[in-house]
Structures are given as structure tokens and as C-alpha cells.
Structure 1
């Protein structure tokens, strides 16, 4: 269980540092959906960090709603970027368009894809923890 908790925390830390690198070092301006993903990811760094420190296996109760919602936002954002007709449904009406792609590694890895990857890792880790703690007496 400690491995799953630590992996989830590391995924959140790397995601937060990556988003800060893109905005503060590379000077990429976040779109509206990027901000929503940050709002859901950044607290996970502190929540999971405290859970690792306190070995709190009940943290999944607080993390799963945030990480699941983060996955939904990331999938939506990724589809806005990659599926042409979805651009009509984007929420970014002013500023940086949500369909913009600052990076496009290997033709599919964009910033929302990386956020989706982090949220998915965190969600899977929390499901593993929930299943293991449910089996304990």
C-alpha cells in the first residue's frame, strides 16, 4: 500500500512541477481547461504528501473524486485538441484557445495527455489502496 501511495504522490509532484515548468520556464500561457486541471492536481500534492507522511490509507476517499474529475477534464481537453469537430465545443472563448498544442511529442503527447496520464496513475493507485484496505479486518 505504501508503494501505491508513494507512486500517486510522485505522479502529482511531477505533474505539478511539469505544469510550472511549462508556464514559468517555457512561458506557455495556460488555457482555461489547463487551469481547471491545475486546480484539481495541485491540492493532490499536499493531500497525498500528508498521507504518505502519516501512512493514511483512507486518503482515497478525498483523492478519488479529484483525480476522477481531473481525468474527465483531461480527456475532454485532449479531445478538443485532437478531434477536429470537438473544437466547436471548446469552453475557451477568450485568451489562449484550448485546442492549441504547445507540445505534440510523438504526434499524440500533449500537455492534457500528460495530465491525463498523471490523473490516471493517481486514480489507479487509489483504487488499489481502496481494495486493499477493504480487505483488512
Structure 2
């Protein structure tokens, strides 16, 4: 299961990366400041996890987990900015698109930061499921 978990973590990162590019480049949704922070954390995971999955290096956890865990916090904060009235006033975006705007709102709760949050959580769980190699971490 550990090799499959690493491959699935990479797949989640790639889907999240392609999804964010689809929303901005095809749908024309301009990313806000918090969206950029999430991209900064997700995009490297696509590359790092891809290389690790190709070589079967489960010790990648020590590099990827900090990115995915930080991504959970950034995405959760961004989602709260969208869904909790008055929360966005705590730290408004300096310029550009406001961070509390929801380009999508599927089923009344699925927004782009929610999708990113699910992606980061899945990557974190899958990385924790990938047992370290015999050389250890």
C-alpha cells in the first residue's frame, strides 16, 4: 500500500495543480492573494511527489509533509474567509481580487479553497500512509 499511497498523493497534487490552472487559464478566474499562497504550496508537490513516486522514495515525506500541512492551514483560513461573515475583515487582501469572493459555490459549500483543502488533506493522509523505506527517513 505504501507505494500506491505515494502514487495517489502525486495524482492528487497533479489534479489539484491542473484544476487551479483550469480555473485561471480556461475559466478566467483571477486568483486572489490566498489562492497564490495555496498554489505556491501545491505546485512544488506535483514535481516533488512525481519524482519520488517514480523512484519509489517514500522518504519524501520529510519534504512534502510540511508543504501539505501548511497548505491545510492556508486553505482552511481562506475557506473561513469565504464562509464566515466578518472573518475576511481580519486580514483583507491588499490589492486585486478580494479573498472572500467565491467563483464557484457548488452545493452551497464547495469552493475553490475547499477543493484545495481536500487536496492538501488527502496528500497529507496518503503521505502518512506511505511507510518509510528501509533506510528510513
Alignment of 1:1-137 (within 5 A): 1-129=2-130, 132-133=131-132
TM-score by length of 1: 0.94
Residue 89 of structure 1: how far off its partner (Å)? 1.3
Equivalent pairs, count: 135
Distance 1:52 1:83 in 2: 38
Q: Deviations over 1:70-118 (max 9, x none)?
A: 0000000000000002021134121100000000000000000000000
Q: Which has the higher helix share?
A: 1
Distance 1:49 1:56 in 2: 10
Greater Cα offset, 83-92 or 23-32: 83-92
Residue 134 of structure 1: how far off its partner (Å)? 7.9
Query: Mind listing any 5+ residue stretches in structure 2 that lack a counterpart?
Result: none
Query: Mind listing any 5+ residue stretches in structure 1 that lack a counterpart?
Result: none
Q: Deviations over 1:45-88 (max 9, x none)?
A: 00000001100010000000000000000000000000002021
Distance 1:117 1:75 in 2: 10
Contact 1:9 1:45 in 2 (8 A): yes
The 3-state SS of whatever aligns with 1:60 is helix
TM-score by length of 2: 0.94
The 3-state SS of whatever aligns with 1:29 is coil
Distance 1:31 1:8 in 2: 25
